Structure 1
Amino acid sequence: MSTPSPRNMTDYEATHRAFQWERPEYFNFATDFVDRWASERPDAPALQWSDEAGHAQLFTWKDVKQRSLHAAQFLTSQGLHKGDRVFVMMPRIPEWWFLVLGCIRAGIVFMPGTPMLTAKDIRYRLLAADANGVIADSSCLDRFQGMAGTGRVETWVAVGNAPSPWVTYAPGSAGTGQHGGSFERTRADDPMLIYFTSGTTGMPKMVQHTQASYGLGHQITGRYWLDLTPEDRHLTLSDTGWAKCAWGKLFGPWSQGACNVVYDFRGRFDAARILRLLERQRVTTFCAPPTAWRALVLQDLSQYDLSSIRHALSAGEPLNPEVIDTWKQATGLHIREGYGQTESVVLVGMFPALTPKPGSMGKPSPGFDVSVIDGEGKEVPTGQEGDIAVRVKPVPPVGLFTGYLNDDSANLAAFRGDWYVTGDRAVKDADGYLWFVGRSDDVIKTSGYRVGPFEVESALLEHAAVAESAVVGVPDERIGQRIKAYVVLAPGFTGSQKLAEELQEYVKKTTAPYKYPREIEFVTELPKTVSGKIRRTELRSMAQQPTRKD
């Protein structure tokens, strides 16, 4: 099979060199993008929705504009104003998109949350953000019991029937309403949304984005990394509460006029069902997290017609090279990785114009100067490990957050000289490609060496017995830290001392001998955040001090 040619970037170096950010005084994603497509392509598909039960709905650009106008009018009729903060918690139902766009139109700051959050999680968010309102699906209302009177929340909107104090939102087309479809213009630097970080190392921090930083900034994600055009049908697997949803299910595809394919599933991930969806919906570009990719490549891919897919992507955590190889052997497509954060749009990517290097996350995005720096804010030599950082002086790039709300210590730690420091470690090679090492807190210092968890996890995953693994450093008086691996076994394998020793020897042969895990513990599952990232802090707390000698 031949790999399709990129549509939006044919020369990476030329594009990166020539790129300049738009910096308008006023900007609003709903009016500047959605309404534009509704004018230019009113009957073209914008949202193709389906669910596990077989229900399906198609919304055109004209539909999306009308329904989001209606949503904006409804929200303002409930007493919400520009600048108010609203917590939004819904599964992947069409109303999420209409109500979020309604918030954007009206200048209401929305704060997405996954339906997996507990009552404790929700209360923390409402109080920390000083929220004015809540929008929730009726399936989530049990988590809000007893929360009336919490903080400053006065507006409670439910999608579906709900008791007082909830007011039912009824989807519909736009009427004249009190605004006649017109709202106060939003400035590019007005706040648009607040995300809560996934909290792998503590309580979630509040990440604020402006109308431009995500709404305008994600053009980079949609055009250059997702490589989208108005003729594409794009599917990103993501919960509505994750920043990845903004990347691949809202701002990325809709900035480019692509059709957003949405599948609402609420049970366990079913790889076969996702592959049938890709086949049935004739998806052209597809993005999934590493956990999904690992499950997908375990299927017999030859049984599915995936010929419509021209571009495959992964983000969230590094993807193991062997998974990339398996998918490429079956489809001819290289899974192209992207790196970014809740705090940003895509910062580094294996863009379609780049020659792939399996295991690398690619090169800096157009509009960004991304490098590897030391503790003093100086760029390190090629091949040397350091902190991934984004240059923010003299002028910060558009697609970057404005800072952590109400957290001076976090802001102080995140900026070093001319740079925003992401908290991740990497190495840059002679060709300018970046190679992820790990979170700064996760890098293991053992016997005088520094070891990134990802490289050990990748080595383990190459063994047939390993379905998933997570590696942490455990304090050791003799060698500083001891490498410990938590392993979820593939079907048909049983944990034993003999298998543990086999895995240790396998890692020694696959990578440098000093990187082998001195301890292996077999587990049925790994602790993860609601966004699917491994909670290594929890694994470190589980690990016990060694009593044996090596």
Structure 2
Amino acid sequence: FASTGEPWNPEPWIWLFQNVGRGKIPIINYSGGTEISGGIVMGNVLTPMKPCAFSGPLPGMATDVVDENGQSVRGQVGELVIREPWIGMTRGFWKDPERYIETYWSRFPDVWVHGDWAAVDDDGLWYILGRSDDTIKIAGKRVGPAEVESVLVAHAQVSEAAAIGVPDSIKGEALVCFCVLKKDANGDVALAAELKQNVARDLGKALAPREVIFVGDIPKTRNAKVMRRIVRAAYLGEKLGDTSALENPASLDDIKRAAR
């Protein structure tokens, strides 16, 4: 199987591997971008794999994970960066050179910052954990949406999930989670409370969601990437911004109703 786009959660990865691939067919993760003209990290069929993981950088990609000071880190979440030029590197934005520099080159000297959270574990396997501009900071603790969403979709009644941060006068931000339920699941107060407890159990009490909201669909792009920026704007009643990539605009209706 070849997989790209939105980061995996463990439960659906394991389901695909065991039920469709019958525990024999490898899942080859691949992540890059239009501005990369290809990939940054990928899997292979030669080395051991883990759920959701990438084997490592593509040949020719000087990829790294760094902390807020630009220092290489392992065993913790950091920024995905590229330290050397590559053959498909975007050299600028059309008629907007300042935006190009600000987007990719302004954080660390001569280092491309791709805008994704990533991690490398003790076995040298790589993980993409979502966009760094989607990061939520609650009571001083930084959490990626994928970490929260993985807990939510691990529940037998949850099919999809999206987590966002919203302003909170005490914690700085609070979690609000949107869940699409499986067929015949009962989206009641009891299930919402159970999901809140699951997040608090796995990630810490401070990260317990303020709300868990059940919706019929979650806004996504054509290649199934969750548009958390638009989810957040719809919930907070803010301007949605550019929606040209939004594949399912009707999905915003439930979110807007929940905010009223």
Larger Rg: 1
Name the CA distance, whole Å, in 2 between partners of 1:530 and 1:504: 30
Report the Cα offset of residue 511 of structure 1. 4.3
Whether 2:130 is the aligned partner of 1:441: answer: no
Counterpart in 2 of 1:467? 159
1:134-191, Cα deviation, whole Å (9 max, x unpaired): xxxxxxxxxxxxxxxxxxxxxxxxxxxxxxxxxxxxxxxxxxxxxxxxxxxxxxxxxx
Tell me which residue corresponds to 1:353: 46
Partner of 1:492: 184
Structure 1 residue corresponding to 2:29, chosen from 337, 354, 366: 337
Counterpart of 2:229 (choices 537, 541, 546) is 537
Aligned length: 230
Distance 1:424 1:313 in 2: 20
8 Å contact 2:6–2:130 — kept in the other structure?
Answer: no
Aligned ranges 1:271-310 → 2 under 5 Å = none
Distance in 1, matches of 2:207 and 2:72, equals: 24
- Seen in structure 2, the aligned counterparts of structure 1 residues 390 and 321 have a Cα distance that, compared at 3 Å, is same
How far did 1:375 drift?
4.6
Distance, in Å, in 2 between the alignment partners of 1:359 and 1:371 is: 18
Task: Work out whether residues 327 and 333 of structure 1, in 8 Å CA contact, stay in contact via their aligned partners in 2.
Answer: no
Residue identity matched to 2:136:
I
Q: What is the aligned partner in structure 1 of residue 94 from structure 2? A: 405
Whether 1:478 aligns to 2:178 is no
The CA distance in 2 between the partners of 1:359 and 1:512, in whole Å, is 22
Does residue 525 in structure 1 map to residue 214 in structure 2?
no
The TM-score, its normalising length taken from structure 2, stands at 0.81
Q: Residue 516 in 1 paired to residue 205 in 2?
A: no
Q: Identity over aligned residues, as a percent?
A: 36
Q: What runs of 5+ residues in structure 2 fail to find an aligned partner? A: 238-260
Structure 1 length-normalised TM = 0.40
* Partner of residue 367 from structure 1, selected from 60, 64, 70: 60
Secondary structure (helix, strand or coil) at the match of 2:31 reads strand
Q: Tell me which amino acid in the other structure corresponds to 1:317.
A: E
Name the CA distance, whole Å, in 2 between partners of 1:428 and 1:341: 20
Partner of 1:315: 4
Note if contact 2:80-2:116 (Cα within 8 Å) is conserved in structure 1: yes
- Please give the alpha-carbon distance, in whole angstroms, between the structure 1 residues aligned to 2:117 and 2:18: 30
1:485 match: secondary structure:
strand
Contact 1:391 1:418 in 2 (8 A): yes
Partner residue in 1 for 2:199: 507
Matches within 5 A, 1:64-463: 312-330=1-19, 331=22, 332-344=24-36, 345-376=38-69, 378-392=70-84, 396-413=85-102, 414-415=104-105, 416-463=108-155
Asked if the contact 1:318–1:361 (Cα under 8 Å) also holds between the matched residues in 2, the reply is: no
Alpha-carbon deviation of 1:385?
Answer: 2.8
CA RMSD of aligned residues (A): 2.0
Q: CA deviation at 1:472?
A: 0.5
